[in-house]
Homo-oligomer: A and B are copies of this chain.
Amino acid sequence: MKIQLINPNTSQPMTQKMAQAAQAIALPGTQIIATQPQHGPKSIESAFDDVIAAAALMDEIADGYHANVDAHIIACFGDPGLDAAREIATAPVIGIAEAAFHAASLVCRRFSVVTTLSSTVPTAHHLLEHYGFAHLCAQVRATDIPVLDLEKHSEAVYQQLVNECWQAIHQDNAQAIVLGCAGMADIVARLREALPVPIIDGVTAAVTFAESLVRLGLTTSKHGHYAVPKTKPFIGRYQHWNR
């Protein structure tokens, strides 16, 4: 099966890093098609970045649709544009925050999220409420590591992360840690060795859940909420959406 993995920001190294993590967990017959928008911000760390990236991301969904992918993954922890993507896609669409929360809820009753900049905390809270997982989340913790610094893999970045995880365990009584950023996928293995609780990464979780939906023959319901939008005039830089 073909799974489109969309990095909604425009940082290519991050796309590649995710693609590797995704391919590594995927089933033998699964092809990961990693992509990123040609428009928009280099990282997503505010509601503003999110709004721009969501619009740009729609083009990628359309590309995936034309390439007949079996599922789409939106690989940014804010799950930008998820509802809209579900409307225009016919294959299932999964966000990595969503996937991480689902996985966490299957292995514990109380998790903390460890994320990057504190400006992304409100989005995480909003998603927890929206999906129905808020009652399981003890705390959303920001390390104040800028997203793009995660690419650098430095020892200092790792130390900040592991310290924040320990604080989640000791202060929040967290029973599992959800990593709140797509760019953390490759640090997971190291954190798992260092920490006594499950460490959950949304990218890999999303891959296995996307594969699960495809294998189960389930796709987004087109009845009601996620029905295909009415066609209508679009102008300016969005005129390619005229249908």
Residues of chain A touching chain B, judged by Cβ–Cβ distance below 8 Å, are 10, 25, 27, 37-43, 45-52, 54-56, 58, 81, 83-84, 86-88, 92, 94, 98, 102-103, 105-110, 117-119, 122, 126, 129-136, 146, 169, 173, 175-176, 192, 196-198, 200, 204-205, 208-209, 211-213, 215-221, 223-227, 229-230, 232-238, 241
Can you offer 25 A-B residue contacts whose CB atoms are under 8 A? Answer: A41-B234, A42-B235, A43-B232, A45-B229, A47-B83, A47-B84, A47-B86, A47-B87, A48-B88, A50-B84, A51-B84, A54-B55, A55-B56, A56-B237, A83-B122, A102-B102, A103-B213, A103-B218, A108-B223, A108-B225, A110-B225, A119-B230, A132-B132, A176-B223, A211-B212
Contact: B45 with A224, CB < 8 Å? Answer: no
Copies of this chain, whole number: 6
State whether A119 and B227 are in contact (beta carbons under 8 Å apart), knowing that A106-B213, A197-B221 are contacts in the complex. Answer: yes
Q: Which residues of B contact A134 (CB under 8 A)?
A: 132
Distance between Cα atoms of A200 and B227 in the complex (Å): 19
Closest beta carbon of chain B to A162's beta carbon, Å: 16
Distance between Cα atoms of A205 and B218 in the complex (Å): 10
- Find A51's partner among B58, B192, B220 (CB 8 Å cutoff): B58
Contact: A219 with B98, CB < 8 Å? Answer: no
The 8 closest A-B pairs by CB, nearest first: A39-B236, A55-B55, A208-B212, A46-B229, A132-B132, A47-B83, A175-B221, A108-B221
